[in-house]
Every structure is written in C-alpha cells, then in structure tokens.
Amino acid sequence: MDKPRDDDRPRGSLGEALETFLRDTGLLETSREQLCALLWGEVAGQWYARFSAVTRVADGIVYVRCDSAPRANQLQLDAPEIMRRLNERLGCNFVREIRPSSAGSASVEPVSARRPELQAAPTEAELEAIELLPGECERIRAQVEDLADAGVRERVEAVLVTQAKARRWQADHGYTECEGCGGYFAGSGRFCLACRPPPRPRTTDDTPQPEWGQRSWDSAWKRSKTRRRRRRDRRG
C-alpha cells in the first residue's frame, strides 16, 4: 500500500498542532487578551469608544470602565451583542462576559487620560530589519527542539522569532513593559490588561466593602498573581 503523500494528509493537522503549542505556552491567550482592547472601539462602536475603555481582561471577562453610571448601565444592556461581535472577530468564544463599571481603583487610569495612539504593529520591512541576539535565537531553538514534526517545529520557531522581533520593536516605539508577565502593551501603568489586579471593592460612598467583599478581592488578586507568574515563566 502506497504511503499517503503530503497533500493527502489532513490540512488542519499542522495548524492545529501550532495552535496547541501556542495555547500551551500562553501565547495564544495573551494575544487574544490584547486584541480585546485593540478591537473594542471597532466592535463596540464610536459612541462606546469615546466614553469607555477596556481596563482588564482575565479568564474570559472583559472589564470596561465607563465615564458615568448611565453609560455603564447601557453597556450592560448592549453587552451580549458586543460580546458576540468580539468573539466573531477573535474567531472563537474567548469572551464569556463583559463587565462594565463607572467606578474603579485609583490605579486604573481614567478614560480621558489614555495615551496618544501608538503605531499598532511593525511593518514587514521593520521586522525584517531587526536582528536578534545570539542568546535570543538559542532560547527560541531550545523552546521548539522537543517538537518531533519538522514542519511544526519550523513554523513555531518562525512565530517565536517574529514575536521576539515584535517585542524589540515595541520596546523601541513607546510601549510599556508589564511588570507581571514581561510583555509589552500600548498603555500606561504597571500591568497589562491580563495582569492588572481587580479594583478593590468599594461601596457607593467610597468606603470599604464588608469583609466578604475583601475576601473575594483577595482571592481574585491571588489568582491574578498566579497567572502573572506562569506567564513570566513561559517567557523564560
């Protein structure tokens, strides 16, 4: 019996293996979290883009800060349709909830204080011109050396090389390095959307929430720290 030719193999197998690798290393989830913020104005519309901003993305929940309570209430009503559009653009059911708020901790920058827009991505020519250090190349090769399939190994290595070059480009073009995972993001503050801690619970008169609320916040903060540690370990 003749061996199957390369063209006869399932076409999705290589892509599926690549996606599995990216998911296992956390790169796939991280990219989708960042895309949520980049796509927000497009999928939510100009009105929400003007009066709201994504402040955090974690565990499939997109946290959005609005500049007033009425707009936050309106977003609550529109959330199902916006979530559908967002998942459609992401190509999967990544977002499971949109959580609007008109209040937050002092660590979250106000909507009006967002930084001027940065160039969203480098051009192919800019990436091609970036040369990685020998140590960076060795680290990437070490990450993929256990992949048995040569085709998958080459594609994953190419993805990691592109990512490393993109990080260098972001560092040189005004992006902020996250203290949690070490990735770069277009914004200010200490943490990216995925690593940013949840706002501390407050009541309407800005006094601390009851003890149960504080315990819930502590639990969420611990989960956030665990995610940041795992992301930094994956980046190696």
The per-residue DSSP string of the chain comes to -PPPPGGGS-THHHHHHHHHHHHHTTHHHHHHHHHHHHHHHHHH-HHHHHHEEEEEEETTEEEEEESSHHHHHHHHHHHHHHHHHHHHHHTS----EEEEES---TTSPPGGGPPPPPPSS--HHHHHH----HHHHHHHHHHHTT---HHHHHHHHHHHHHHHHHHHHHHHTTPEEPTTT--EESS-SSS-TTTPPPPPPB-TTSPBPPHHHHHHHHHHHHHHHHHHHHHHHHH-
| Claim: this prediction has a pTM higher than 0.85 | no
pLDDT at position 9 is: 37
Separation of alpha carbons 57 and 68, rounded Å: 20
Q: What is the mean pLDDT of each run of 10 residues along the chain (236 residues)?
A: 40 51 56 75 87 84 89 94 90 89 54 52 84 90 83 81 86 85 78 69 50 50 59 56
Query: Beta strand 61-66 with 52-58: parallel, antiparallel or unpaired?
Result: antiparallel
pLDDT at position 38 is: 72
pLDDT at position 79 is: 95
pLDDT at position 224 is: 58
pLDDT at position 130 is: 92
pLDDT at position 74 is: 94
* Domain coordinates in residue numbering, the chain: 28-118+177-222, 121-173
pLDDT at position 100 is: 92
pLDDT at position 57 is: 83
What are the backbone dihedrals phi and psi of residue 176, each rounded to the nearest 5 degrees, phi first?
-100, 135
pLDDT at position 182 is: 79
